[in-house]
Amino acid sequence: MPASELFTQIAGLPTEQKNPETATIDAASTQEILQLINSNDARVPAAVGAEIPHIAEAVDVIVERFKRGGRLIYAGAGTSGRLGIVDASECPPTYGTPPEMVLALIAGGREAVFSAQEGAEDKPDAGAADLQAVNISVNDVVCGIAASGRTPYVLGAFAEAKKHGAPTILVTTTNREKLHELGVAADIFICPNVGPEVVMGSTRMKSGTAQKLVLNMLTTAAMIRMGKTYGNVMVDLAMTNQKLVERAKRIVMDITGADYDEASRVLDVTGGHVKTAIVMLLANVDVATAKERLQAAGGFVRGAIEGKA
């Protein structure tokens, strides 16, 4: 009986190959196991670094969509889907973005976040339906996350995105040649070559680490390009808990030289808006003028302080 097409596809994926370095890992001591994992993990940042030109291209597309009022929508299954959810969920508290600005869809829905929903990733129609449910539009960008690059749920989401004219980005640890072989289509491919996993096929390991690094880069760089930082300090954080309230005060104090009481007072006046508080103190203007300057500068604190539009 000949092997199925799916069997052949999966068998040929880089993540499904045996790692010769760990062939006898089952006979290794605990410390040796950990050293093998660590030495393999150490190669991931360089693999991601080799993809920076493609990551930069993706960031520019994301920023352009944000400026049009669009969204970044992640789509993935299993570990990949959960990584998208983690990245999306951190954007509102870190950068003060509305929850809908970065969304994450996962095959199998909310239940799949906490427990494996076997078979959910095999349904391209579900990927398309989930995008329809969030009213995908030409202003959005869809980022598929799939170690194999061939996850049907993700490909279904891409097909739906294409219908609406939304650009697509694929974050995968499968090489471009293999993706071309498989007929996978996306506008931008980000393909860090992390090599075979320590445990064959366990893509929550190096592949997952590479994906996490890439997603960090996509949203962090995009938010910086959107004026969400002043220098390397996040100045658009949302004061949603007491820790973040105190962090906001510390940020204002650190940047402006104000003392604790002054930082607290100005933040109260601005309704907890860190950017406005900084501009008020450093440009020596009132709250209304600070807001006007920020708007004229496109939300960039540095430009608002200098009075540059």
> Which pLDDT tens digit goes with each residue over 264-302?
999 999 999 999 999 999 999 999 999 999 999 999 999
Task: Please report the domains of the chain, with CATH numbers, ordered by start residue.
Answer: 44-225 (3.40.50.10490), 229-306 (1.10.8.1080)
The angle at the Cα of 94, spanning 63 to 222, to the nearest 5 degrees, equals: 15
The yes-or-no answer on residue 64 being catalytic is no
- Give backbone dihedrals phi and psi of 141, rounded to 5 degrees, phi first: -130, 135
Angle subtended at Cα 96 by Cα 92 and Cα 97, rounded to the nearest 5 degrees: 65
Residue 121 known to be catalytic: yes
Q: In whole angstroms, what is the distance from residue 165 CA to residue 247 CA? A: 40
Q: Which of 121, 177, 197, 262 is catalytic?
A: 121
Tell me what pLDDT residue 2 has.
52
pLDDT for the residue numbered 75: 97
What tokens appear for 298 in the block? Answer: 């496109």
Q: Would you state the pLDDT for residue 241?
A: 86
Q: Say which of 90, 197, 246, 306 is annotated catalytic.
A: 90
∠ CA 50-53-58 to the nearest 5 degrees? 120
- In this predicted structure, what is the pLDDT of residue 244? 86
| Half-sphere exposure at residue 193, Cβ-oriented, CA atoms within 13 angstroms | 6
Tokens of 22: 């760990």
pLDDT score at 6: 66
Q: Which of 280, 282, 275, 277 is nearest to 298 (CA)?
A: 275
DSSP secondary structure letter of residue 298: T
Q: What pLDDT score was predicted for residue 7? A: 67
What are the Cα distances from residue 210, in Å, to 4, 46, 115, 164, 173?
30, 10, 22, 29, 8
Mean pLDDT by 10 residues, the chain (309 residues): 61 77 93 96 97 98 97 96 96 92 94 76 91 97 95 96 98 94 95 94 93 98 96 87 91 96 95 94 95 95 87
CA distances from 70 to 98, 101, 287, 298 (A): 12, 7, 29, 16
pTM of the predicted structure, to 2 decimals: 0.90
